[in-house]
Structure 1
Amino acid sequence: MQSTYTAKRLRWAGVAITSTALLLAGCSAGAATDAETDGAIGSLSLKFTSYASPTAPISQALQQSFDALAESTDGAIEVEPFWSASLLSAPDGLAGAADGRADISLITAAYTPSEMPLSQLLGVPFVAPSSASVSLALKELYDTSPAFQNEFSSNGVHLLAVIAPGENIIATTDPIEGPEDLEGLQLRAAGYIANAVQEWDANVQALPATDMYESIERGLIDGYTSFAYELIASFGLNEVATNITDPGTGPYIASYIVINKSQWDGFSDAQRDAITASYENVADWSTEATLEIEAATCDTLLENGGSVTVWDETKVKQFRDKIGDSLLKEWKATASATGVDPDAFYDELQTALDDVGDQERQTGLQECASR
């Protein structure tokens, strides 16, 4: 059955950051080169690092972006990608971009809580209604919030694009009908989602995504969470944990494409414009890849005797009520200890979410559950 859910889900999977943000962030343009004065773009060779596999939807979209950048600059700017953590591990993505081990990096804020305390808010369950809403809201905040801009500049990077993963899932070897079935399970989990499932007496294992397949296959864990449905196939996880649950917690991480700030500040205007423009179609390309992958993922899961379940409002409320506002309070306390103002940022995010509105969509997981 061909997937037909609305493209709004990932239409904002990659939101390029505009020149307005550059001005607000105080990025000074480098001196124009002779080549720029003549209307040409000076040559650049950039290394990109990602923990995602090359078959992941966002990876396919980014590769198209890199190809488009090379084509639009007649080969003057080329990006060499290193997929599947072949250059830097996921936790090293931020520091690696800042210190020059990579030029551009896909980073996930959950791996760097001390360095990116504000972004951890996006990992608190039930804070945001959808991934599409989060992408638009964060883009707006980077244009308007000095505190959010500082989260990047203070770490030596400039934000190129916001990447919105899908809503959080729980994948297990055996089906779970409600939150009470989490009791006693060994789950790979990260961030505040880990705290949430622990409230229901699940045992949490901190593992990188690349170790989940083997850990499930060897029986070391019963499944995983803090993960998105569209990424299952790219990690081969539809072979080992075939029962997928949408617990209704919403997005679970904030992910970004960042570039070394010193390099960015030293680029010519023409180079920065070309790089920024190369991300304009990433969202559409990611949507196309995601539609195909999610439909195929559903086919594989169901053919292998798996199940896809979306908890109803009663079960979501049951899950949420036990957590209460404890995790939001925990985030505020942790963020405050780093010197930022969590209440002000929380208010800014809620205002931005109100501004962009609820991005209505049926997810691929919801469609699969209805088959």
Structure 2
Amino acid sequence: MKKFTKSVISTAVLAAAAATLAPAQAADKILLKTPIAFGSHLPALGTPIVWVSEQLNLVSDGKIKMKIYEPGKLVSPPEILDAVSSGKVNSGYATAGYWQGKMPAAALFSAVPFGPEAGEYMAWMYYGNGLKLYQEMYDNGGYNVKVIPCAIISPETSGWFKKPIEKPEDLQGLNMRFFGLGASVMEKLGVSTSQLPGGEIFGALEKGAIDASEFSQPAIDQRLGFHKIVKYNYFPGWHQQATIFELLVNKDAWGKMSKGQQATVENTCKASMTNAIAEGEAMQFPVMAKAKEQGVEIRYWNETMLKTFEQKWDEVASEKSAADPFFKKVWDDLSTFREGYDLWESNAFLPRSR
């Protein structure tokens, strides 16, 4: 009888323990529902987050999964930040420049005219104050999100035009698709800018709704077919020497993850920074080599134009710093870091002749 009683008690204890453990075991499996701002078919823009989703599944042995939703399928790109913050979705992938209308400093965590190249940008982000300020911006803005840099690409082209641009006056009166802080520079030169989504640019060029456009790197622009309509492609990408992309995670969802799970997501995104820039760097020159066959003329901005762009950017940076204290805080910190970094950069790297 005693053995029977002990057996019953043991069974009851085990059952209670199993019932207690069941929810914890279920919580061990995480599904990140992730709307993205760029189609997953676009190399270097959309492909990095696909790579992240695959690696998360592998590294976590299937305990962390990411389901990707193409632009507009669950949440439209401009709504990703609000959707993640409110908990409508628990994560999202975009670039912070999309939110500069809500938080002016957001653009500084996306791409900076005449700003840092990828290596320097990552140095400031991870070993300067960049990441701390990045999170502070969202916290100060009242957004319930954890921000994780999750991809980076090197320079973009700075525009596709229907005719050569030799002097600043040639830009006056143009309607142009332009992104981020560079758009403010172009506006100072008499250009009307709009930030059309990538999928709408070709149609706008074809119909004459815009006269010119910048979007991304050559391999990406080729996918969108700009070369079929506009034939003058200008370099260097003074407005985006490097562009960072972010994974936003709802803070409540983030808080429910274990430290190991959080580290898995953060380190997979850090690995994606390496993978994304390697992918982007490898695919540009084959596309550029075929440009002439497609009737495209690759042009490099003359000194007058580059000096003009830089002068106007200095004006924009000063104006935005005066208008927004947090923009000034981030800009001053980045500028101080870059002044220090210049001692290394100017001595360590070989100058490259064109």
Distance apart, 1:256 and its partner CA: 1.8
Partner of residue 329, structure 1: 318
Mean CA deviation greater in 95-104 or 117-126: 117-126
1:317 to 292, 295, 307: 307
2:52 to 38, 47, 65: 65
- 1:167 pairs with 2:147: no
- Cα 1:225–1:129 change in 2 (3 A) is same
Partner of residue 173, structure 2: 184
Q: Return the structure number with greater relative CO, CA threshold 8 A, min gap 6.
A: 1
- Cα 1:351–1:308 change in 2 (3 A) is same
Partner of residue 253, structure 2: 263
Q: Deviations over 1:20-59 (max 9, x none)?
A: xxxxxxxxxxxxx959999x98111111121212132243
1:249 to 233, 238, 241: 238
2:117 to 124, 130, 133: 130
Contact 2:37 2:71 in 1 (8 A): yes
**1-side partners of 2:172 and 2:205: how far apart?**
18
Moved >6 Å (runs of 4+): 35-38, 359-362
Q: Determine which structure has the larger helix proportion and give its number.
A: 2
- Cα 1:206–1:52 change in 2 (3 A) is closer
**2-side partners of 1:295 and 1:265: how far apart?**
43
**2-side partners of 1:343 and 1:136: how far apart?**
20
RMSD: 3.4
**1-side partners of 2:23 and 2:59: how far apart?**
15
Contact 1:97 1:104 in 2 (8 A): yes
2:127 to 124, 140, 160: 140
Q: Deviations over 1:291-332 (max 9, x none)?
A: 3431343144322110111224343113333x2632112211
**2-side partners of 1:66 and 1:87: how far apart?**
17
Distance apart, 1:219 and its partner CA: 1.9
Partner of residue 12, structure 1: none
Partner of residue 76, structure 1: 63
Letter in 1 for 2:125: L
Partner of residue 158, structure 1: 146
Distance apart, 1:275 and its partner CA: 1.6
Distance apart, 1:78 and its partner CA: 1.0
Secondary structure of 1:174's partner? coil
Alignment TM-score, normalising by the size of structure 2? 0.78
Partner of residue 345, structure 1: 330
Partner of residue 306, structure 1: 296
1:51 to 37, 41, 54: 37
- 1:225 pairs with 2:214: yes
Contact 1:188 1:224 in 2 (8 A): yes
Partner of residue 11, structure 1: none
**2-side partners of 1:49 and 1:200: how far apart?**
35
Contact 2:151 2:269 in 1 (8 A): no
**2-side partners of 1:205 and 1:272: how far apart?**
37
Structure 1: tracts of 5 or more residues without a match: 1-32
Secondary structure of 2:104's partner? coil
Provide the identity percentage: 19
- Cα 1:102–1:240 change in 2 (3 A) is farther
Contact 1:140 1:352 in 2 (8 A): no
**2-side partners of 1:291 and 1:345: how far apart?**
28
Q: Deviations over 1:85-141 (max 9, x none)?
A: 433222112112212233222222232224433233467864514243223323335
**1-side partners of 2:196 and 2:59: how far apart?**
40
Structure 2: tracts of 5 or more residues without a match: 1-19
Alignment TM-score, normalising by the size of structure 1? 0.75
1:205 to 177, 194, 209: 194
Distance apart, 1:79 and its partner CA: 0.6
**2-side partners of 1:259 and 1:79: how far apart?**
12
Distance apart, 1:216 and its partner CA: 0.7
Contact 1:61 1:285 in 2 (8 A): yes
Secondary structure of 1:118's partner? helix
Q: Deviations over 1:326-353 (max 9, x none)?
A: 21122113323xxx3x433222112333
**2-side partners of 1:361 and 1:90: how far apart?**
38
Secondary structure of 2:126's partner? helix
Partner of residue 90, structure 1: 77
Structure with max Cα Rg: 2
Partner of residue 17, structure 2: none
